[in-house]
Amino acid sequence: MVEVRLWAGLVPLADNQKTVSVEAGTIRELLRKLQERYPGLEEPIKNEVAVVVDGQIYRNDWSKELPPDAEVFLMRRLAGG
């Protein structure tokens, strides 16, 4: 089980929770379970999210395995150039 911290814009879409616990082995599974539990997160997760696992940012590699004690944040994906 990992604790996931949400950026402020996602909190209202997750029943006003800043942190949620999810049983997941990979980032992909984590995001799927979050969308199932909180359907309002579906659009932001598809289009706007980056996942930070133990300080490393993942934007597209959802196959990353999650250690049980990982520090996980969902944050807004930043556009760059």
Query: Which domains, ranges and CATH numbers included, belong to the chain?
Result: 2-76 (3.10.20.30)
User: Rounded CA gap, 73 and 50, in Å?
Assistant: 8
**How many CB atoms are located within 10 Å of the residue 75 CB?**
16
Confidence of residue 80 (pLDDT cuts 50, 70, 90): low
Q: Report the percentage of the chain scoring pLDDT > 70.
A: 96
Looking at residue 45, its amino acid is I
**Full-model pTM:** 0.90
The confidence score (pLDDT) of residue 81 equals 53
pLDDT digits (tens, 9 = 90+) for 31-52: 999 999 999 999 999 888 999 9
